[in-house]
Amino acid sequence: MDKHSHFRTPIKTARGLGSAHSGTHHFWVQRVSAVALIPLSIWFMVEIVSQLLGADRGGVALWLSNPLTALALAALIVGLFVHARLGIQTIIEDYIHSEAKKIAALLFLNLCIFGFGAASLMAIVRLHFFGN
């Protein structure tokens, strides 16, 4: 008998059900990504106004040729997609009650997030290294 077994209901103990221990990790990753997005978003808005407003593709490529700029933009993209995935996953898990529909929605979510995230990062890499 473990030290927390007195907090379990008899049916939960009999079935062996309990916390999946992923809720705390999910909570903290979402909070950390939200906090990281604050300065990155402010930086990006300042850059849009000061550097990119009215710029053509060559201007954006020139802006992205700086390694720190490309790295900051990649961090913004990763943070946005991680944060969005966690938030949408929570909505799906809370509001879709059919297990089959929930699994399908989560698969579609992961496909979209990883697909669009990879495409965004590839665009940054292409403009940083090749300019066009």
The mean pLDDT values, 10 residues at a time, for the chain of 132 residues are 58 54 83 96 96 91 95 97 96 94 97 98 94 74
Fold classification of 22-130 is 3 helical TM bundles of succinate and fumarate reductases (1.20.1300)
Contact in structure between 65 and 128 (CB atoms under 8 Å): yes
pTM for this predicted structure: 0.79
Q: What three-state secondary structure class fits 79?
A: helix
Rounded to the nearest 5 percent, the helix, strand and coil shares of the chain are 80, 0, 20
d(CA 106, CA 114): 12
The Cα angle at residue 33 between residues 31 and 38, in degrees rounded to 5: 100
Q: How far apart are CA 130 and CA 132, in angstroms?
A: 6
